[in-house]
């Protein structure tokens, strides 16, 4: 399949996986954005699982059995398949690099090691307004199946299956009063952007730049690089 036939033009909303540093301390919010993994093709299928845990204790004297006791709700799980293809560039290594980026989601980050809290990245799957599938998670497994190789032996087509497990937290991408997912966005920096200008444009409050810096692990707001993607927290998560 040629790249030109991958979508229906600019109006097609593509799925992506936002890969973040794990938080420092006891925070339940993802750390700074490491990268945004864009899908070449939107998933043809994904599955979501949520389980309610019940406990029933057998009792001999009760003929019809004991009443089950609700123990709680388990974290959500998601299985998603990612198709990668660069067959129109048989000497390229873009598929190899993308698979490596997904495999690294199961490895500890150098920044977390330096903070003495070693952990793999935290991730957020995002696909337009598909809010049910949008939650902060860790990647428990990555399975890559290569199905086509270039003349040099480098894979140019692969299917990756990711298993994501929700990381619960009452402040994690949720409005605590409604339970709805908040409208967090990603912004790519252009020339002239500053945290203050972004805060004013997004929230009407230039002082909210601190929330943007905190969400992205920025220590020096004066050293922003054009082209870098920043997470813009939802309005409910912003403090001036």
Burial class of residue 173 (count of CB atoms within 10 Å of its CB; 0-12, 13-18, 19+): buried
Residue whose entry in the numeric block shows the structure tokens 């048989």 = 90
For 186-199, the three-class secondary structure string (H helix, E strand, C coil) is EEECCCCCCHHHHH
**What would the pLDDT profile of 108-151 be if each residue is shown by its tens digit?**
999 999 989 999 999 999 888 888 888 899 999 999 999 999 98
Q: Which CATH number applies to 182-235? A: 3.10.350.10
Handedness of CA 166, 130, 100, 153 (dihedral sign): positive
**What would the pLDDT profile of 22-36 be if each residue is shown by its tens digit?**
988 777 788 888 888
pLDDT value for 239: 66
For the whole prediction, is pTM greater than 0.85? no
pLDDT value for 184: 59
Domain range summary for the chain, segments of one domain joined by +: 13-54+67-171, 182-235
Residues of the chain with pLDDT under 70: 1-11, 59-65, 169-185, 236-237, 239-240
Q: For the chain, give me the number of helices (H) and strands (E)?
A: 4, 11
| Cα 23 from Cα 112, distance rounded (Å) | 8
Burial class of residue 179 (count of CB atoms within 10 Å of its CB; 0-12, 13-18, 19+): exposed
User: Hey, how many other C-beta atoms are within 10 angstroms of the C-beta on 126?
Assistant: 19
| Cα 96 from Cα 153, distance rounded (Å) | 11
pLDDT value for 97: 93
Instruction: Please state which architecture CATH assigns to domain 13-54+67-171.
Output: Beta Barrel (2.40)
| Cα 84 from Cα 80, distance rounded (Å) | 13
Q: Is 78:164 a contact under the CB 8 Å cutoff?
A: yes
pLDDT value for 130: 86
């Amino acid at each position: 399949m040629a790249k030109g036939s991958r979508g229906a033009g600019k109006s097609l909303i593509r799925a992506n996986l936002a890969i973040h540093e794990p938080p420092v301390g006891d925070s339940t919010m993802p750390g700074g954005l490491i990268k945004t993994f864009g899908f070449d093709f939107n998933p043809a299928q994904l599955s979501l699982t949520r389980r309610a845990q019940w406990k029933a204790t057998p009792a001999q004297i009760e003929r019809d059995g004991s009443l089950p006791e609700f123990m709680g709700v388990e974290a959500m799980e998601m299985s998603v398949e990612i198709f990668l293809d660069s067959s129109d560039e048989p000497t390229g290594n873009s598929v190899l690099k993308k698979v490596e980026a997904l495999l690294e989601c199961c490895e500890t980050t150098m920044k977390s090691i330096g903070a003495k809290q070693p952990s793999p990245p935290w991730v957020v799957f995002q696909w337009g307004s598909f809010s049910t599938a949008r939650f902060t998670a860790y990647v428990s497994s990555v399975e890559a199946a290569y199905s086509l190789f270039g003349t040099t032996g480098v894979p140019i087509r692969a299917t990756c299956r990711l298993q994501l497990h929700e990381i619960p937290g009452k402040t994690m991408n949720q409005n605590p009063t409604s339970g709805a997912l908040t409208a967090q966005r990603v912004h790519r920096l252009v020339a002239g952007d500053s945290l203050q200008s972004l805060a004013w444009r997004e929230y009407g409050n230039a002082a909210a730049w601190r929330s943007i810096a905190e969400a992205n692990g920025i220590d020096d707001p004066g050293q922003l690089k054009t082209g870098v993607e920043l997470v813009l927290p939802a309005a409910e998560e912003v403090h001036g």
